[in-house]
Structure 1
Amino acid sequence: MRSDARRSARGPSGTDLINTPDIELWPGGLLRARNGHDARALARARHVLRRKRDGQYLAADLPEGLLPLVQRLTREPGIEQALDALQRAAAPRRPGLERIAELPLDRLEERLHALGLDADGYGERTGLDLVPEPDRLAYAGHDRYRRPLWLHPLAARAWSHLHEAALRDGVVLEAISGYRSHDYQLGIFERKLARGQSVEQILTVNAAPGYSEHHSGLALDIGAPDQPPAEESFETTAAFAWLREHAPGRGFVMSYPRDNPHGIVYEPWHWKFLAA
């Protein structure tokens, strides 16, 4: 998908996540804090600035101005770009004319090198492409774990229609996860490495940071009630049978069938929306 090539299919006003390389701008009302000071600020915020690499809340955009939630906010990497995005978000916008752009693919080689991976070699070996993040994501409800589900606006609309069509047929589809940032994918590797897995073991299940279809916001993992998430047993469910029959006609494809050329294990739960 080329930068700026897609028109946004925006949901209700104020429910988009504004994405920058280091910091996400979440719409107010979706985040919760444990301490009273931050909780009061988040409850009133129009947007919340959230550090991507660890989920730290950085600042709340209140009606009376920006409230820092960390010390030395002005020294935070990427803060100027995030504040510019916040200012643009406050400007009046013409409905239907907004476009989704792609964030630059910077710092990925450094991250892959830290994992002992060569970016060019990995791409050639797997046939996977680098996947940019969109600069805006749409709120698509909540996933199984009551976390906000973020998807590319086109995928969010398509997922809503797919979910509703399944319900009409008596089938419940649960979203397990949607958009993941490059930083989030790196965190998956770091946690699994800390548990003793090797990089090669992880790569059979997770694409390297920068190469996951989840970065685009066009892919999501789907589950069924009372079924474990992201397990091959999903293929035995009525939900999977319904997807096999109906999802392709609604623009969704299963990315990693058996014996796929990318070296990724069979993932009957992973579906991608092919934006037209």
Structure 2
Amino acid sequence: MRNAPHILLNTPDIEIWPGGLLRARSSDDARVLARASHVLRRKRDGRYLAAQLRGGLMPLVNRLADEPGIDFALTALDALRTQPSRIPPPGGSLPLLQLHLHLQQLDLDADAYAAQTGLPLVAEPAHLHLAGFDRYRRPLWLTTAAARGWQRMQQAAAIDGVALDAISGYRSHDYQLGIFERKLARGLSVDEILTVNAAPGYSEHHGGDALDISTPGEPPAEESFEHTAGFAWLQQHAARFGFHMSYPRDNPHGIVYEPWHWCYRRAEASL
């Protein structure tokens, strides 16, 4: 696959990252990650599971063979390295079985939630493209089309003297579940969390087409973004690049006003 080093391959339990992008958490990590062509990362908690080195696969956890989804991930890694034609084409997505298990963990009725909010279930892409880096120098993962749209839009804004920052892009179902688990541990109820966070599986970020945008000096994900030159530029030009603000004031989904949240729609991109 063209640009294969910049592809994140997604499996239900494990992400396969290209080498050189993950932050080392210890000196031992640093030595291994510096030599890795790819790293297997557990989606549930971000734990590094194994690194693909020139001499072979190096486990980074005990009993790697017992990790859920490891066989699937290793098959995908082998395809990524040796048979790129076997990589799912753009637009491919993962099955939703894992997601339904997450919703059961939260005792959340998916049908009732969907009916109440009008939000559809969003599957995770089978792979994502590196769209650059966000404000915090973290890799920004989007679908291939959304990544190209974002890069073109950011460049066009810069030409007009407007700086746009990405705050975040793709988020997995597991990441969203982690938000709920942490808030539940602090004593909040699921209903309380749902007033500010979409249920796992219902965030546009899961599909890799949505990103949160800000501008230098502006705090992330704050309503005050609507008063910036960046927001004014997006209102006037974003649609040309396929991006639309998903949650305006009084939106039918009951989601708070989010002037920072923009989603790419392939059919509406003109550039």
Which TM class, normalised by the smaller chain length?
over 0.9
Deviation per CA, 1:168-203, whole angstroms, max 9, x where unpaired? 010011000000000000111122223343322322
| Distance (whole Å) between structure 2 residues aligned to residue 202 and residue 165 of structure 1 | 37
Q: 2:142 — aligned with what?
A: 151
Q: 1:127 — aligned with what?
A: 118
1:204 shift after superposition: 2.4
1:227 shift after superposition: 1.1
Deviation per CA, 1:93-122, whole angstroms, max 9, x where unpaired? 46xx94331000013233223223101111
Alpha-carbon contact 1:19-1:136 (below 8 Å) kept: yes
Alpha-carbon contact 1:109-1:118 (below 8 Å) kept: no
2:165 to 159, 174, 192: 174
How many residue pairs get aligned? The number is: 265
For 1:184, what is the secondary structure of its paired residue?
Answer: helix
1:247 shift after superposition: 0.3
Q: In the superposition, relative to structure 1, how do residues 250 and 112 fare at CA in structure 2: closer, same or farther (>3 Å)?
A: same
1:23-172 residue pairs with structure 2 within 5 A?
Answer: 23-93=14-84, 98-172=89-163
For 1:82, what is the secondary structure of its paired residue?
Answer: helix
| Distance (whole Å) between structure 2 residues aligned to residue 67 and residue 166 of structure 1 | 43
| Distance (whole Å) between structure 2 residues aligned to residue 157 and residue 62 of structure 1 | 30
1:126-275 residue pairs with structure 2 within 5 A?
Answer: 126-275=117-266
| TM-score of the two chains, using structure 1 as the length reference | 0.92
For 1:267, what is the secondary structure of its paired residue?
Answer: coil
Residue type at the aligned position of 1:112: L
* Runs of 5+ unmatched residues, structure 2: none
1:90 shift after superposition: 1.2
Q: Which has the higher helix share?
A: 2
| Distance (whole Å) between structure 1 residues aligned to residue 25 and residue 4 of structure 2 | 27
For 2:97, what is the secondary structure of its paired residue?
Answer: coil
| Distance (whole Å) between structure 1 residues aligned to residue 128 and residue 27 of structure 2 | 29
Alpha-carbon contact 1:203-1:264 (below 8 Å) kept: no
Q: 1:4 — aligned with what?
A: none
For 1:209, what is the secondary structure of its paired residue?
Answer: coil
1:239 shift after superposition: 0.5
For 1:158, what is the secondary structure of its paired residue?
Answer: helix
Residue type at the aligned position of 2:71: E
- Percent of pairs identical after alignment? 66
| Distance (whole Å) between structure 2 residues aligned to residue 252 and residue 226 of structure 1 | 23
Tell me if 1:15 matches 2:6: yes
| Distance (whole Å) between structure 2 residues aligned to residue 172 and residue 192 of structure 1 | 33
1:63 shift after superposition: 1.1
1:92 shift after superposition: 4.3
| Distance (whole Å) between structure 2 residues aligned to residue 250 and residue 258 of structure 1 | 22
| Distance (whole Å) between structure 2 residues aligned to residue 109 and residue 101 of structure 1 | 19
Alpha-carbon contact 2:12-2:98 (below 8 Å) kept: no
Please identify, of 98-107 and 266-275, the stretch whose mean Cα deviation from structure 2 is larger.
98-107
| TM-score of the two chains, using structure 2 as the length reference | 0.94
| Distance (whole Å) between structure 2 residues aligned to residue 36 and residue 268 of structure 1 | 40
Deviation per CA, 1:193-244, whole angstroms, max 9, x where unpaired? 2334332232222210011100000000001111111111111111000000
| Distance (whole Å) between structure 2 residues aligned to residue 35 and residue 222 of structure 1 | 31
